[in-house]
Structure 1
């Protein structure tokens, strides 16, 4: 499978209720790390991100046109290796709660690994079994990760 940039597309594992995508980015780990952890940079390629606090426990919102402000929280952070976010991004819900709802939220982790002078970035999102329509949400987020990570690559590689 190929996405719009010709890179690996996201893969759905319905049995594990998980979406995964790995891509190689022609940029060093520190640059990619900033793009997946700094709210200002996240806002340039993903959703408009506002986080209060630093590190694990930081919380706030990520806003997308047509979806409003989605509650998000940093669950875990291993500098320049991985960062895990929990968010309420159930596509079938109309009203979003003001804070992350443990009962219906999903978790996504960005893992970074040096690949020569570049970076292998892998995102894994799980927890879809807790959403209102797991199969539809898996497919929606598969498409979303293709779109969003293609924007990340364009941003980072366009800045060289």
Structure 2
């Protein structure tokens, strides 16, 4: 079995949020909102396939490229930092109470447990920060 065939790990975090998909989409795609809950933007962000952008945290830089964007429904981008090459997908599904927001990060190799554990701890905190930012958004 080659490395490319090896089993990878994924993280999934889902939350039902009492805001419509259009508002959550803005928080996921507008740079000033992204910086409020996510990470520091090093480049402008556009939800357009092929668009490259970078974000930074105290632990380093993440190089990203938008892979797919369906406004108010789905956003996928690569997430490349150090030796971790993964993919983040946001899925927005309307519900009676607002939106079911699903974040999935795929591509953690079995030998990348520190990255996997860090992301497993970080994503629920980031989604909580997103919910707080949504409350402040007009």
TM-score range (shorter-chain normalised) is 0.7 to 0.9
Match in the other structure for 2:44: 51
Q: Give the TM-score normalised by the residue count of structure 2.
A: 0.84
How far has the Cα of 1:69 moved from its partner? Answer: 2.8
How far has the Cα of 1:44 moved from its partner? Answer: 0.9
* Partner Cα distance (1:18, 1:117) in 2: 27
Q: In the alignment, does 2:69 pair up with 1:61?
A: no
5 Å matches for 1:133-152? 133-152=111-130
Please give the root-mean-square deviation of Cα atoms over the aligned residues, in Å. 2.0
Match in the other structure for 2:4: none
5 Å matches for 1:17-56? 17-49=9-41, 50-51=43-44, 54-56=47-49
How far has the Cα of 1:16 moved from its partner? Answer: 4.5
CA 158–40 in structure 1, closer or farther in 2 if over 3 Å, else same: closer
How far has the Cα of 1:38 moved from its partner? Answer: 1.6
* Partner Cα distance (1:159, 1:60) in 2: 23
Q: In the alignment, does 2:116 pair up with 1:124?
A: no
Unaligned runs of 5+ in 2: 1-6
CA 35–89 in structure 1, closer or farther in 2 if over 3 Å, else same: same
Unaligned runs of 5+ in 1: 1-14, 94-103
* Partner Cα distance (2:54, 2:23) in 1: 23
Match in the other structure for 2:66: 74
How far has the Cα of 1:43 moved from its partner? Answer: 1.0
Q: Is the 8 A contact 2:54 2:62 kept in 1?
A: yes
How far has the Cα of 1:39 moved from its partner? Answer: 1.9
Count of residues in correspondence between the two structures = 131
Comparing both structures, which one devotes a greater share of its residues to strand? 2
Q: Is the 8 A contact 2:31 2:45 kept in 1?
A: no
